[in-house]
Chain A
Amino acid sequence: MMPPTEHVLVLALMLFCVGAVGVLVRRNIIFILISLEFMMNACAMVFIAAGAKWGQPDGQVMFMLILAIAASEVAVALGIVIQMARRFRTLDVDAVSELRE
C-alpha cells in the first residue's frame, strides 16, 4: 500500500520549509547551497508523488530534469564559492556585498 499523496506532499512541504529557513538563516554560502539542495529535493518529491498517484512515468522524467538542473547549479555555485574564498578569504555572503556600493 502506497503512502497517501497528501502525506507525501506535507512531508515535501516541511522539507522545503527547512530548506527555506536554511537559506534565510545561514550566512555561510556552503550551508545556503545545502539548503537549496533540500528545496530542490522537496520539489522532486512532489513530482514523484504526483507521478505515482496517476501511475505515469512523467514524474520521474521531471525528477531527472531536476537532477540535471541541480547538478549544473552546484557546479556553477561551487565555482563561485572557490572564487569567493580566493578573493575575500571568507565564505560569509554578507562580506561579498561589493555591488551595493
Chain B
Amino acid sequence: MTALILFYVAGFVTLAAAILAITRTNASHALIYVVVALLAIAVIFFLLGSPFAAALQIVVYAGAIVVLFLFVVMMLNLGKSSVDRERALLTRGIWTVPSLLALVLFAVVLFALVSGDHEAGAEARMIEPKEVGIALYTKYVLAVELAGVLLLAALVGAYHLGRRYLADRREEEKTS
C-alpha cells in the first residue's frame, strides 16, 4: 500500500516538475526542474523493482546529461550581463518551488526507509543488477556493440559540430 502512495506522489512530482520545466523562460531555471523530474522518475523505477535502472537514471541522466545541458546554456550566455543573472539566480522565488518538489521526493524516500518496507517491490520480484548484466552480455551483446558504435558516431559528430572554424569560414564568406 505504501509503495502505491509513494508511486502517486513521485508521479505527481514528475509531472509537476516537467510542466514547470517546459514553461520556464530562463533555461537554467528549467534545468533545475528537469533534475527534479528525473530524480522523481528514478524513484518510480525503484518502486517498479529496478534499482539498477534507478541508479543509472540518477548517474547518467541527472548527472551527466543535465550537466552537459548546463555547460552549453552557461557557455551561450548571449550577451546578457552575468551579474544580473547571478542576482536573479539568488532570488527566493526561483529556488522555492523546485526545492519544495525535491523535498517531497526526499520525504517519500525517507518514509519508505523509515516504514521499513522498502522491499515493497519484492512481492512482485525485484530484478537484480546481476540478471540485467547477464541479459545485457548474452542475449543483447549485439545491441551493446551497436550502442557503442552509436556513441562513437555521436562523439565524432559532436566534435565536428563543436569546431570553431566552421563558423569562422562562414564569416569569411560573408565579408568577401
Contact = CB atoms under 8 A, between A and B. Distances in A.
Contacts of A3: 3-4, 7-8, 44, 47-48
A71 B157 contact: no
Contacts of B157: 72, 75-76, 79
B150 A60 contact: no
Interface string A6-34: 01100100110011011001101011011
A69 interface: yes
Interface in A21-74: 21-22, 25-26, 28, 30-31, 33-35, 37-38, 41, 44-45, 48-49, 51-52, 55-61, 63-65, 67-74
Interface of B: 1, 3-4, 7-8, 11, 14-15, 18-19, 21-22, 24, 27, 30-31, 34, 37-38, 41, 44-45, 47-50, 52-53, 56-57, 60-61, 64-65, 68-69, 72-73, 75-76, 78, 120-121, 123-125, 127, 131-132, 134-136, 139-140, 143, 147, 150-151, 153-155, 157-162, 164, 166-167, 170
**Interface band, chain A:** 35 or more
Interface of A: 1-3, 7-8, 11, 14-15, 18-19, 21-22, 25-26, 28, 30-31, 33-35, 37-38, 41, 44-45, 48-49, 51-52, 55-61, 63-65, 67-76, 78-83, 85-87, 89-91
A70 B53 CA distance: 15
B154 A71 contact: yes
A19 B143 CA distance: 27
